[in-house]
Structure 1
């Protein structure tokens, strides 16, 4: 494939846009693709561009920000460059001025374009005190990305922002990290001793020193006891910041091995900017094994797992920022645990993998452009981009998370006394049965009475350690039937769990909560409905597979519910398992459910005693004592169990 990359900024000025372009050039070249770079000229370029042709155009610096260069090239000039190179696709890196001109040239030549949203210029206009220009900038961004064949957004926050501007055809594409360069092994004790001779904990910031990065907020850490603040970077805010932070260490701009050494030497990394579409320095800090304290808005939401590898503080609350940093510098054990989790978080986020994804987006753009041109000739509207294709039936490591429903309570069909199957066990067997290659591994971390906080604190970290490629999440009912649940807080935690799993590349089956169709359940119906509305939003936003059981009227029918009035009996678990299997592409799942029902009638034991003495009174007694049914209960499969696959059986038959 021939790819023309138009970059709004380029070498020798290094920033996030330039860095991303260089990584893409390298991995496109390694995969055999040809590239052309069109960018502003602002000095000599001596770096290895991996065989890329370059056309560096005359540019002028912004008066208040000379590091940013603007190209005013005519569309005819850009058209001639593109016509000569004859690309299959035009890649627009953080497009604004040059990107708009390049987009016009690409359109004239009927070349598909992929616009990579990387700089929140709307927020920058606000930060620089240009309220009258903000609406104009927002309108320009919207027009540009609507005109592009496909837009790539790096985070859930930037996706929402673009959708609010009316941009369609948005796909998620993040950023890679060099986990060899940015690694804990580069920690330099000599550098640390020179910077903090009194043994202080080193709190670091890396980035451009400019108003849009909110570096002035670092003042909140100026006199934090037992710490030394290190500021890496340069920009127009540096002189003011140096006067405000006389005890801080200012290194200026660093790159390469020197930046990696300094980053690994931090004890805590701080990121105050609220206008980040992604946050590459956050990812580099995590890769270096450094816990991160970042503002809880924008790109950091997709990178920092609060209470796992860092803290997200309330946007604009500098007291909270200070408290979160103090918490980590003052607790060696917590900081060490967060550091280990930080390094583990970047596993698999390589530029090689992301560039393969990028080529897939290029291919989609080529196909969409052909459709657009055909419809344009017939006067039809431009269609929405189809969802990225999801391979079905290729999972090999499935982990189930949740409470008693996923543990399988009351599904004793064909199980030894005191043991349960459950819908997740049944689903795992179905997925293994359809797998042509093995092995198929399954773990079930669900435990009765668990709430959303247990999902975050216990189950998600354990699941990520297993490196699954499929995770199911059914949680929340125990919270919703409690006194005055705060649904937005519950949803925020569930969304962080889904985000954490999706960042690894694994698929998520997100299951809506549901109630039996009986009068006593109606008092909770509004809560469950409000909660499920948000689950549907989370699934759509993060690309999760939604199993909408609330919309399945059959699940509420009383024959599917056990005698305790709150759990499913075996027939209910079968229904959920086969509905999930159908969503995951298991062939003939609906027909298989009918066959399973006919061949395996419920074998539930007859309940002993009345509902009052058997179920209600023990529940009340546990609540009075501050206990739950899950206390002391361990998950039934904390590690993987191996299930036989169709391929295993075929090989056995062939012997």
Structure 2
């Protein structure tokens, strides 16, 4: 794999973003991948870049914070760099300015992008006293991460923050810790004696000395009896902090073995920052066997187990912070117990493990990019990779919907005037996984709308006590002259919740369109409705059959001659993808076998205009639909044979 990494900051300035990039480069090199780093030029780079090519671009320092540099590279320049390297994926490390331009360049070349959310720039804008810029920054972050193919967030708090901004396709990806460099065995008693000659308990902080880190909150610990405060790091706030905390020890920036030794020499680690998306130094303290006292918001919530390996104090409550530190300072036995738990907590968080996870995310982005490119329109959320379900032993399946679920135009191996359809096909597949009788009903009727689903189909289905219900509905509503999408979604959600409340599982399917010019008039409606449908599925625990994530389903060979219903090939595709989601073994292989054994119907006689379009228009003018007077083809259960049984017996 070829990976281009765009980083907002880079060597020689070392911070969390730079450190993560270096660990990623090492892992990718070890796995045989090729890498290119595009980053701001800020000075001589002497560190080992693990074979990565570099393109360091002219940059300017951020006012009042010269360690952070801003690149104003033209998108055309970045496009040329990416075109020359030909990456399989672009990794955007804490993207903002350079990352946005890199995203535009990747989009121009149809390259998938993975954006790493590592810096809470919205909170930083607030901390630096730029309230007018906060809304702009918030909007920029939202647009950037919604545009990326995939976003990786390090904590539950950052995931929630991004979701509140409308960002979709968020995956959790934390930060690794060097458990060799940060180890309790590096505790150096000689260093401790030099810092605390009277045997004081050493309370330490490690990180940038900048307003957003709220290091000045440590003033609450300045006169805590029997303690020595040690502050490791550098930054624009250092001079003011030295005046504020004259008795504290300021070591400046430390790294490597020296940092590992100092970290292990602490008795208590304190982290006051409230805008951390993760908190890497917290993790390093835990690896060093040091109990942590941190603010109870953001990244620390996922790292510190309060009352086990540290304490979380109320955000902004400095009295509470002081009390938590005093608790550990005054109880050596508790400190020892917390220290053992702290070291144990970081097992499994190695950079090698996280590097393998990252490569998996790259592969997912590579899969998702062509799906995005094939979408006629994007809603608030986009299709995710369809996950294979865990097979359950369902015995009573009821299909709800309109003509697509009824099976219209799927006359494969059926008598004239009868239709099979994807739901019938799925029922047969599910029956083969059942050791006993399998019952199936199909309440779908052509031309039905969401109101019919809620008022007729769901109540009827609930009387049958199913354990699995499929819902594919909404297309007929969305092609109407006036559409109230929130109202449609509310009806759908009501239907799903009623079925879920009965104890049944729900297979919820997104709606889709053929790739025809006329159909594109409705593309935005369908995308918006599908976006809300994904939310409903997530909130209700419904299984998602994301048919919008199947570009092949929109291709014209999948659609019948009437241009609005699926051919047998389309019904097969939906049935086997649904079977895959429901965990039917070997569904993909069975799909290929089924396709080899069946051929689609021959075109129906007559032209599309006379056979399909004009009758549809005439019915609409008369206020009728094709489904008027029709009843569902399986109003009650039919019994399908399970494994080892033959026959098909109607059930009452």
TM-score range relative to shorter protein: 0.5 to 0.7
Change (3 A) 1:193 1:301: same
Assess, with a 3 A threshold, how the Cα gap between structure 1 residues 584 and 203 changes in structure 2: closer, same or farther.
Answer: farther
Cα deviation, residue 109, structure 1: 0.5
- Write the distance in 2 (CA, Å) between the matches of 1:391 and 1:45: 48
Aligned partner of 2:210 in structure 1 is 210
**CA separation of 1:379 and 1:544: change in aligned 2, threshold 3 A:** closer
| Maintained 8 Å contact 1:37/1:53 | yes
C-alpha distance in structure 1 between counterparts of 2:231 and 2:540, whole Å: 42
Please report how far the alpha carbon of residue 260 of structure 1 lies from its aligned counterpart in structure 2 after TM superposition.
Answer: 0.3
- Select which of 365, 384, 387 maps to 1:386: 384
Q: Distance in 1 between matches of 2:358 and 2:109?
A: 22
Shift of 1:384: 2.9
Mapped to 2, the partners of 1:140 and 1:90 lie a distance apart of 19
Structure 1 residue 24 displacement after superposition: 0.3
> 2:317 aligns to what?
317
Q: Distance in 2 between matches of 1:132 and 1:298?
A: 23
Match of 1:274 in 2: 274
Asked whether the equivalents of residues 40 and 58 of structure 2 are also in contact (C-alpha less than 8 Å), the reply is yes
Choose 1 or 2 for highest CA Rg. 2
Inter-partner Cα distance in structure 1 for 2:51 and 2:388: 33
Q: TM-score, normalised by structure 1?
A: 0.60
Q: How far did residue 392 of structure 1 move?
A: 6.0
Give the aligned partner of residue 591 of structure 2: none
Q: Which residue pairs with 2:55 in the alignment?
A: 55
CA deviation after TM superposition for structure 1 residue 546, in Å: 7.5
CA shift, 1:387, in A, is: 6.2
TM-superposed deviation, 1:37: 0.2
Structure 1 residues 380 and 103, CA, compared in 2 at 3 Å: closer, same or farther?
Answer: closer
Tell whether the 8 Å contact from 1:38 to 1:55 is kept in structure 2 after alignment. Answer: yes
Q: Distance in 2 between matches of 1:372 and 1:391?
A: 23
Question: Counterparts in 2 of 1:245-256, with a 5 A limit?
Answer: 245-256=245-256
Matching of residues 229-244 of structure 1 within 5 Å: 229-244=229-244
Structure 2 residue aligned with 1:163 = 163
1:110 is matched with 110
Cα displacement (A) at 1:383: 5.9
Q: Which consecutive unaligned segments of at least 5 residues does structure 2 have?
A: 392-500, 502-534, 544-580, 586-652
**Residues 190, 392 of structure 1: alpha-carbon distance in 2 compared, 3 angstrom cutoff:** farther
Cα 1:382/1:547, change in 2 over 3 Å: closer
Q: Secondary structure at the match of 2:82?
A: helix
Which residue pairs with 1:363 in the alignment?
A: 363
- Match of residue 73 from structure 2: 73
Deviation at 1:381? 5.0
Kindly state the Cα deviation for residue 388 of structure 1 after the two structures are TM-superposed: 8.3
Name the SS of the counterpart of 2:182 in structure 1: coil
User: In the aligned structure 2, how far is the partner of 1:544 from the partner of 1:585?
Assistant: 21
Question: Per the alignment, do residues 200 and 72 of structure 1 end up closer, same or farther by CA in structure 2, a change over 3 Å counting?
Answer: same
Q: Is 2:169–2:382's contact at 8 Å kept on the other side of the alignment?
A: yes
Aligned to 1:178: 178
Q: Secondary structure at the match of 1:278?
A: coil
Could you say if the C-alpha distance between residues 163 and 2 of structure 1 is closer, same or farther in structure 2, counting changes exceeding 3 Å?
same
Residue of structure 2 in register with 1:10 after alignment: 10
1:14/1:294 CA distance change after superposition, 3 Å: same
1-side partners of 2:94 and 2:160: how far apart? 17
Q: Deviations over 1:118-154 (max 9, x none)?
A: 0000000000111100000001101100111111100
* TM-aligned CA distance change 1:372 to 1:242, over 3 Å: same
Gaps of 5+ in 1: 394-513, 515-539, 549-582, 588-655
| Distance in 1 of aligned mates of 2:190 and 2:540 | 50
CA, structure 1 residues 586+30, in 2 after alignment: closer, same or farther (shift >3 Å)?
A: same
Task: State the TM-score, normalizing by the size of structure 2.
Answer: 0.60
| Partner residue, 1:462 | none
Q: Residue 92 of structure 1 aligns to a residue in which SS?
A: strand
Does the C-alpha gap of structure 1 residues 351 and 391 become closer, same or farther in structure 2, counting only changes over 3 Å?
farther
Aligned residues: 408
Q: Supply the distance in 2 between the matched residues of 1:167 and 1:380 (Cα, whole angstroms).
A: 13
Query: Using the alignment, how far apart are the partners of 1:585 and 1:336 within structure 2?
Result: 48
Residue aligning to 1:344: 344
* 1:140 equivalenced with 2:153 (yes/no): no
SS at match of 2:219: helix
- Cα–Cα, structure 1 residues 138 and 29, in superposed 2: closer, same or farther, change >3 Å? same
Q: Give the SS at the match of 1:36.
A: strand
Residue aligned with 2:197, SS: coil
The alpha carbon displacement at 1:584 in A equals: 12
Question: What is the correspondence of 1:385-464 to structure 2 with a 5 Å cutoff?
Answer: 385-386=383-384, 389=387
Return the offset for 1:374: 1.5
Q: 2:277 touches 2:298 (CA, 8 Å); kept in 1?
A: yes
- Residue 495 of structure 1 is matched in structure 2 by none
Map residues 18-57 of structure 1 onto 2, 5 A cutoff. 18-57=18-57
Map Cα deviations across residues 46-78 of structure 1 (whole Å, 9 max, x no partner). Answer: 000000000000000012100000000000000
**Distance apart, 1:386 and its partner CA:** 2.8
> What do the CA deviations read for 1:416-447 (whole angstroms, capped 9, x no partner)?
xxxxxxxxxxxxxxxxxxxxxxxxxxxxxxxx
SS in 2 for 1:217: helix
For residues 17 and 278 of structure 2, what CA distance do their matches in structure 1 show? Answer: 11
Aligned pairs for 1:483-494 (under 5 A) are none
Deviations 1:273-317 (A, max 9, x none): 000000000000000000000000000000000000000000000
Partners of 1:546 and 1:188 in 2: how far apart?
Answer: 52
Contact 1:372 1:383 in 2 (8 A): no
CA 1:387–1:106 in 2, change beyond 3 Å: closer, same or farther?
Answer: closer
- Structure 1: how far apart are the matches of 2:49 and 2:150? 25
Q: Where does residue 189 of structure 2 map in the other structure?
A: 189
State the distance in 2 between where 1:39 and 1:218 align: 34
Q: Whole-Å Cα distance in 2 between the matches of residues 76 and 546 of structure 1?
A: 44
CA 1:27/1:544 → structure 2, altered by over 3 Å: closer, same or farther?
farther
The structural deviation recorded for 1:586 is 11
Q: What is the distance in 1 between the residues matched to 2:305 and 2:203? A: 19
The CA RMSD over aligned residues, in Å, is: 2.7
Q: What is the deviation of 1:373?
A: 1.0
